[in-house]
Amino acid sequence: MPVIRALSTVAKQALQGFGCECQPFTIAVRSISFSPRQVTSDASFHSVSFSETAHPKVLITGKFLGQTFSLDVVSCRKQFGNNNVILSDIRKPPSHVFHSGPFIYSDILDYKNLREIVVNNRITWLIHYSALLSAVGEANVSLARSVNITGLHNILDIAAEHGLRLFVPSTIGAFGPTSPRNPTPDLCVQRPRTIYGVSKVHAELMGEYYHHRYGLDFRCLRYPGIISADSQPGGGTTDYAVQIFHDAIKTGKFECNLKPDTRLPMMYIDDCLRATLEVMEAPAESLSMRTYNINAMSFTPEELATEVQKHMPDVQVTYKVDHVRQAIADSWPQNFDDSNARKDWGWKHDYDLPELVQTMLNFIGSDSRVARVN
C-alpha cells in the first residue's frame, strides 16, 4: 500500500478507531532544482540527489499539523517509523506531541533555521500549514503579512533548492466579492479583501510560478471551511460550524456570529485529510493544474442548527452578528466547483451534512462524558 493511502487510513483511525496494516513502499524523488535564493546567495552548500527506499521524511510546519488538520501522530509514527514525521512550531508542544516523536523548533521566518532542518533530517516532503487565519489576520495585518507571505517565500526557496514535494493549503478566502459565488470555478477573478485571502492567492501564484520556472513539485488545495471534532475553533470565519457542537453539548445554547442565511462550503476533517493525501499521491501527469478547489457540502448556520436540533431538540440557537466576520463571509464563495479535482485525480467526498452532524455529536459527546467521569 503506498504511504499516502496508508496515511489516509491512519488519519481516519484517529476519529473512527479502526485498525490498519501497511506494506512497504518506494517513492521517487526528482533531481535537485534551483531557487532564486540559491542562485544569488553567497553561502556554500552541497546539493545531493537522493532517493528514499522505505519512507519519505516529512516536515510539517506549524500548529502541530494545524488545529483543524490534526492527524493521530502517534499512530502514524507506529505505522511508518517514529523518525519519519517531524512536527515543528515556534510554540512549546503539548506533552503528547513532545513525547510521541520528533519535534523541532522551527521559525518559518528564519531561512537558515529551516534550511538546516531540511538538510540535517534529509527531508523529502514539506507540508506547510503555518498561517494566520482570516479574522485573526485582520486584527494583526503586519504579523499576517510576515507569517503568510515572508514565511512562504522561505518555504518556496528551500523546497525548490532541495527538490522537495511541497504542499501548501489554500482556502475559500482566496476569492473575493467579484468572484462567481455559486458555483465558484477553479479559474476565475479572485481579488480577496482580507490579508489572509491576499496571502493565499500569492501562495497559489508563487507556487505555480516556482513549478513552471524551477520544476518545484508544488501541490495546493483550496479548502472550504473545515470541521473537526478533536479541535477547538481557531479564529476563522467558518469556525461557528465547530463551536455549535461544543456549545450544544456543554450548555445547550449557541450564539452564532454569522447571519442565519450565510451559505458557505464546508468539509469534514476526514474528507479534508483524504483529499490532501490523495492529491499528494496523484501522478504528476494526471494534474492539469497545481491548485484545485475541493468541496463536500454547502450549508447555512440555520440549516446546520436545524440538523443539530434533530438530535438535540432543546438546543437554543441565537444570532449576534460579528460584522467583521460577516463581511468576510459575504465576500466568499457559497459553493465550490471541484469538478477538475474529481476528474483529474478522482476526488470524491464521503460526508454530507447529516453524516457530519451525527459524527460530530458522537465524538464530542463521548469526550464530554469521559471528562465528566474523570
**Catalytic annotation on 196?**
yes
Whose CA is closest to 194, among 145, 240, 128? 145
Annotated catalytic residue within 196, 210, 268, 292: 196
Cα 14 to the center of its chain, rounded Å:
16
Whose CA is closest to 204, among 334, 110, 292, 107? 292
Whose CA is closest to 117, among 156, 61, 64, 43? 61
> Cα(354)–Cα(113) distance, rounded to whole angstroms?
45
Whose CA is closest to 331, among 209, 201, 233, 229? 201
Q: Which cell numbers in the block locate residue 322?
A: 460579528
Per DSSP, the residues of 200-232 read: HHHHHHHHHHHHHHH--EEEEEEE-EEE-TTS-
What backbone torsions phi and psi does residue 123 show, to the nearest 5 degrees?
Answer: -65, 140
* Vertex 269 angle, CA 4 and 199, to 5°: 90
> Cα(35)–Cα(40) distance, rounded to whole angstroms?
9
Per DSSP, the residues of 239-292 read: GHHHHHHHHHHHTSEEEESS-TT--EEEEEHHHHHHHHHHHHHS-GGG-S-SEE
**Beta strand ranges found along the chain (DSSP E):** 58-61, 85-89, 103-105, 125-128, 165-167, 170-171, 217-223, 225-227, 253-256, 264-268, 291-293, 297-299, 316-319
Whose CA is closest to 341, among 281, 292, 289? 292
> Cα(194)–Cα(275) distance, rounded to whole angstroms?
26
Which residues are designated catalytic? 196
